[in-house]
Amino acid sequence: MQKGPFFNVQRPPEITRPQPKIQVNPTDPLIRDINPSTSFIPDNGFGEDNDLLKSKDSILKPSMNWEPVILKKREKLGFHPEFESFNKSPVKDDLTEEVFVPKYKLEQAKQDFLLEMENLDKDPTYKRVNVAFVKQGPDGNGRRVYPFHIKYETGTILDLKRAIMNDFGYQINQQRIFRNYLELDDATLIAELPQFEEDEVLIFAPIGAPAENNSVNFRSRIAEKSIEDIMEMNCSNLSKEEYEAFISEENLVWPPFRNWTKEWIILYSKIRELKKEVETQENLESYQMSQLMQVERELYELIKSFESTAKRIIHNICQWKINPIYLDNLHGKGGKKFVAGGMIIRECRDWMLLTKDLGEGELAYKIACNEHRAFNLIRGTLEGIEVPLSCIIVYNGISFFVQSLCPITKRSLVYGSNTEGIEIVDEEEGKIVAETIGRFFNIKEVILLDFKI
């Protein structure tokens, strides 16, 4: 006899005959309210006449890997009322007890959880809400995004907090959820959030460590889109020459992918080197000047081709009624974004600035023009700082701000914040670049005092 935490368990000898298959359902009780002095023997395939051996909800099985866990006896937690999860608390009390749970049962529960998530994705009465955990916790550090399912019409931020509490152990009063730089009230209906998109990510900033550490958690993270993932989105297989010859008002086709930023860097680097040679030589050869003029002409043609391609892409978007792609704050917060031909096209509407939605009209257009002028001012002026090509296109009264794509992700940030100011990145490399740009624009340095949210 081997004594377990709450059971006297008889390990059976090597079993040579097939074991009876037991259907495990996630709603079956894992733990019964038992008298600790009572001895239980798991179903081991012997003695079918014994009622204890027939018990289908016996926790222990032979020839399985056993894992000690602490499970709630009476209180059942779950990410929505119809599903029971295997949450546990590290602190023992009169409602918890330590038991040995075989890995196969946890694996079965995980598969049931994933199936339930898939069914909820298809259920029109539920809405998936993505939440980014931005502070370090038992589940890890850095930016981690988890999906939750909330009732579409009646679900509130409080319901979302309850789901987070059930899976991660943070009490309601520990949780703060932000959207567009503002904290959301518990009574806010998810369905009434203005312009809430399916792939949108809310920011979760807890206060302190979770009160309960639910180490059995089947909720998986989801990967956020990065620019690298969509670089070649909406691109054709045509060459540059074929595209220029084919395109017309009647023939609508996506342009081929071009790394506009890289092409500009290569040409401008050549111009910079040639200019240095010209400035340092006393006896200037004619072929050097002609070479410099040739490269400058190529740069001019690149910029001209960038603007004409942007016009054609916007024409295609409007004609084909292409759906925008959600990129959160990559290439700016707010505004419908489209990707094609190595460019990102952002409609000058509903931009977020200092927690305010600029809407559409003259103000949004002026902000876009200011950003475009800043790009042109810095581009090629400060060595070591590369700025993407940009332009503003007005199509049938609608303004679009176009940039060449840069390989940026949520994790490539070295200076600033991608969590709406809750977590600020201040790496030395980024700090040096920020100071350089600040001196160039004659911007006074401002030091923020340390604070906690």
> How would residue 337 be classed by pLDDT, with cut points 50, 70 and 90?
very high
> How would residue 450 be classed by pLDDT, with cut points 50, 70 and 90?
low
In degrees rounded to 5, what are phi and psi of residue 55? Answer: -60, 120
| Token output for 448 | 């923020």
Question: What pLDDT sits at residue 172?
Answer: 94
What is the CA 329 to chain-centroid distance, rounded? 11
Rounded-to-integer distance, Cα 329 and Cα 338, Å:
14
Of all helices (H) and strands (E), which one includes residue 286? helix 286-320
Angle, to 10 degrees, between the axis of helix 260-280 and the axis of helix 286-320?
Answer: 160
Rounded-to-integer distance, Cα 410 and Cα 422, Å:
14
> Which position has the higher pLDDT, 216 or 146?
146
Residue 343 CA neighbour count, 13 Å, CB half: 29
The three-class DSSP label of residue 442 is coil
Span 258-301, pLDDT tens digits: 999 999 999 999 998 888 887 777 666 667 788 888 999 999 99
Rounded-to-integer distance, Cα 150 and Cα 173, Å:
20
Task: Please report the domains of the chain, with CATH numbers, ordered by start residue.
Answer: 1-103 (no CATH), 111-225 (3.10.20.90), 228-409 (no CATH)
Answer whether 102's CB lies under 8 Å from 64's CB: yes
Rounded-to-integer distance, Cα 127 and Cα 146, Å:
14
Q: Is the pLDDT of residue 36 over 90?
A: no
Rounded-to-integer distance, Cα 329 and Cα 22, Å:
49
In degrees rounded to 5, what are phi and psi of residue 395? Answer: -120, 115
Distances 121 to 148, 152, 235 between C-alpha atoms, Å: 10, 12, 30
Answer whether 39's CB lies under 8 Å from 71's CB: no
Provide Rg for the chain, Cα atoms: 30
| Token output for 56 | 């289908």
Q: Is the pLDDT of residue 305 over 80?
A: yes
Q: Is the pLDDT of residue 412 over 90?
A: no
Question: What pLDDT sits at residue 442?
Answer: 87
Q: Is the pLDDT of residue 357 over 90?
A: no
